[in-house]
Chain A
Amino acid sequence: MRRTFMKFGLSAIALSAALLSGAAFAQAQQTLKIGIIAPLTGPAAPWGLAMAEGAKVLANDYNAKGGLSIGGKTYKVEIVAYDDKYKAQDAVSAYQRLVNRDGVKHIAIAAGVSTLAIKPNIENDKVVVMTAGYLANLLDPNAKYMYRMWGIPADYYPGIYRWLKDNTKERRVVILGPDDESQREMVALSNKLLKEHGYNVLSTEMYDKGLKDFLPLLTRVLATKPDMIDLGGTAPATAAVLVRQAREFGYKGQFFIPGSSAWREIMDGAGAAASEGVLNMVYVDPTNDNYKRFAAEFRKAVGQEPNESMAPYTDGVNVLIQSIVKSGSVEDTSQFEAGFRKAFPMKSMQGDNLTIGGGMAHGIDHQVAAFRYIGAIRGGQLKIIGKIQ
């Protein structure tokens, strides 16, 4: 038993030495390290990989052009991406590693829950965070180092529902949404906006996000005879299943998906006939050349089609980079805010003009007013028929 302790002690020392040895700061020598915390494995991986790999293509673009000139020095851009598995404690590990081991001072982060988990630390550590998270409490006037790379439903839903009212004639609507973090807020908002625009909201349903069998739900919901189903932020593969099952049950009405870009999966999973006319908020005009280039690079690196959120995510990382350039300093993050303001207007990946937004809704204008497109599936193809900011 005594021997056990000795050996235990020795091996623990060895293990700790291994960990501590990595603790030395990796000083950024002419390298600008941008950290990324995103789900790189697990069911949310398509989004995480879109952020990480899109950022890498962007970094390669900059480096091919000779790097960045910041404060009189030339920097190479390096993306350091860590997996948070969509879990709070893993996000904290990833953050600690980026900040304390890798010396990173600027981080892009995908998930709302992960952002919440690290939020308490960033003010102390003076680390700039650019989040894609949808939760409303991510931005607040006291969070000086937190920024968001796009508008959340609270920001863009009013625009998109106004467009809907002006461009479609269906008025009897059922709202469905997966029961996940921000989706409750989104569904409540949809409900409110639709009612304000004079729609008859027949019912609002939150379904378990792992649900695949929608027949009971559809049986209940279709009995009220809606002519439009609002799918909120339903995940793409699930949206395909829902559309198909609803059509099989004889539903002939409209589908509207304002919260996630699902058109490709719906076309593949439900078929051209069932998906005809589906209206979807999309991030990307698939005919855009620059996007196609990014997508090709992604396909080479990962072996799959990218999730289209890659476009706004990469724009977010680009805003981060350009703000650093305009701020004139990599190390002094207190200059970042000034740099952020000077960086706009700037071009998005697809050529739109990005500006600053979010001041009224969130008490602090640390948000990028990104564009979203409205697409309709017609004849087995996606046609862009509208654009909102």
Chain B
Amino acid sequence: MKRTVLTCVALLALLSSLWLFGNNYVLHIATMVVIMAPMALSLNIMMKLGQLSIAQPAFMGIGAYGAALLTMRLGVPPLLSMLAGATIAAAMAAISGPVFLRIKGVYFVLLTYAFSQVVNLVFQEWVSLFGGNSGLYGIPKFSLFGFRLTQVHHYFALGLVFTALTYTAMRAIERSDIGAIFESLNENEMLSRSLGSNALAWRTAAYTFSAFVAGVAGAIYAFYIGFLSPDPFGFRASVDLIVINAVGGVNLVLGPMLGSLFIVPLPELLRDAREYQLLVYGVCLMVFVVFLKQGLVSLFQSPKKGVRA
């Protein structure tokens, strides 16, 4: 108990110093970390179920465009449009879930890939609504009960709060019965079905939850950057999320958090070697897949926690 309190205090001290003393550059990176962390968590849920989903950035895009358009065109207050955008994303997951999640392994990957491509094409082609490749410009600032979020600090706080919420929710799930059900779904579905859990319903619930998280992250992104185009929601984004999870570690909820902390700022640290950035990315990924399959998280783990093959 004392240790947890100590680490929480340390974390708080760290974050406050970031807030108070960090300049806009550092805070921008930090904000991107806390926007990508929930995205990585969203993919993590699906990977824990053994289904690699390439659709997460598409859900992020739906949440982003949804929130932006509701606020811009219909004057909906930002908090509401954020939730609405995420709900639309979640609804799409809930509808497609029972159909897609029946399918396992590689076919599921390909399905989500096709889904995400269709979503992207719609963003590009439906120009009157989404602005096409030119995108949506002039998204208003996020405001909460009259307080307008105009500075980087504010968005960092917003993203941080959401990340903390998502993390807590996922830890709670992991520790609860639901978490146990998810684990068993991955390990041995037939057995868990025989014990009475409706596998497809649980998978769809997980998928829907992951889409909701992605949608909110997308909305935060939209309000922060103020400008949307289809580009950040394509296949490349999925690659980033996969790298984050592989590097951070899939098994623990802490994994994607560590992964985001490490991977998102990486291009900034590698600015001088920009052509080699991509190479470093790929080599990192390869090294982790081969030698550190459990991710960064495993470096911190006490040996007695079982390492799953």
B225 and A15 contacting across the interface, CB-CB below 8 Å: no
- Nearest chain-B residue to A94 (Cβ)? B271
- Nearest chain-A residue to B151 (Cβ)? A124
A184 and B7 contacting across the interface, CB-CB below 8 Å: no
A19 and B21 contacting across the interface, CB-CB below 8 Å: no
B270 to chain A, nearest CB (A): 10
B4 and A2 contacting across the interface, CB-CB below 8 Å: yes
Name the one of B7, B225, B268, B275 contacting A97, with C-beta atoms under 8 angstroms. Answer: B268
Residues of B within 8 A of A93 (CB): 25, 28-29, 32, 267-268
> In the complex, what distance in Å separates the CA atom of A9 from the CA atom of B8?
8
- Nearest chain-B residue to A114 (Cβ)? B227
Interface membership of B50, Cβ < 8 A: no
Residues of B within 8 A of A113 (CB): 134-135, 227, 229, 231
State the interface size on chain A (CB cutoff 8 A).
46
> In the complex, what distance in Å separates the CA atom of A329 from the CA atom of B12?
42
Residues of A within 8 A of B226 (CB): 117, 120
Residues of B within 8 A of A12 (CB): 11, 14, 261
> In the complex, what distance in Å separates the CA atom of A16 from the CA atom of B21?
11
B51 to chain A, nearest CB (A): 27
Interface membership of A135, Cβ < 8 A: yes
Interface membership of B180, Cβ < 8 A: no
Residues of A within 8 A of B104 (CB): none
A101 and B25 contacting across the interface, CB-CB below 8 Å: yes
B23 and A184 contacting across the interface, CB-CB below 8 Å: no
B278 to chain A, nearest CB (A): 7
Name the one of B3, B11, B32 contacting A2, with C-beta atoms under 8 angstroms. Answer: B3
Contact bitstring B12-42, A, C-beta under 8 A = 1, else 0: 0010011001111110110010000000000
A7 and B300 contacting across the interface, CB-CB below 8 Å: yes
A119 to chain B, nearest CB (A): 8
A:1-43 near B, CB below 8 Å? 1-10, 12-13, 15-16, 18-20, 23, 40-41
B:38-59 near A, CB below 8 Å? none
B23 and A100 contacting across the interface, CB-CB below 8 Å: yes
B26 and A87 contacting across the interface, CB-CB below 8 Å: no
Given known A-B contacts A3-B302, A5-B3, A5-B7, A13 and B14 have beta carbons under 8 A apart: yes
Interface membership of B301, Cβ < 8 A: yes
A87 and B25 contacting across the interface, CB-CB below 8 Å: no
Name the one of B18, B225, B254, B271 contacting A8, with C-beta atoms under 8 angstroms. Answer: B254
Interface membership of B258, Cβ < 8 A: yes
> In the complex, what distance in Å separates the CA atom of A99 from the CA atom of B26?
12
Name the one of B10, B132, B300 contacting A13, with C-beta atoms under 8 angstroms. Answer: B10
Residues of B within 8 A of A184 (CB): 127, 132, 134
- Nearest chain-B residue to A180 (Cβ)? B133
Interface membership of B192, Cβ < 8 A: no
Which residues of B are interface residues toward A (Cβ below 8 A)?
Answer: 3-4, 6-8, 10-11, 14, 17-18, 21-26, 28-29, 32, 124, 127, 132-135, 137, 152, 221, 225-227, 229, 231-232, 254, 258, 261-262, 265, 267-269, 271, 274-275, 277-278, 297, 299-302
Which residues of A are interface residues toward B (Cβ below 8 A)?
Answer: 1-10, 12-13, 15-16, 18-20, 23, 40-41, 82-83, 86-90, 92-93, 96-97, 99-101, 113, 116-117, 120, 135, 137, 179-182, 184, 209
Given A3-B300, A41-B274, A89-B225, 7 additional A-B pairs, CB 8 A: A3-B302, A19-B265, A41-B277, A86-B231, A87-B231, A90-B267, A117-B225
Q: Which 3 A-B pairs have the closest CB atoms?
A: A5-B7, A2-B3, A100-B25
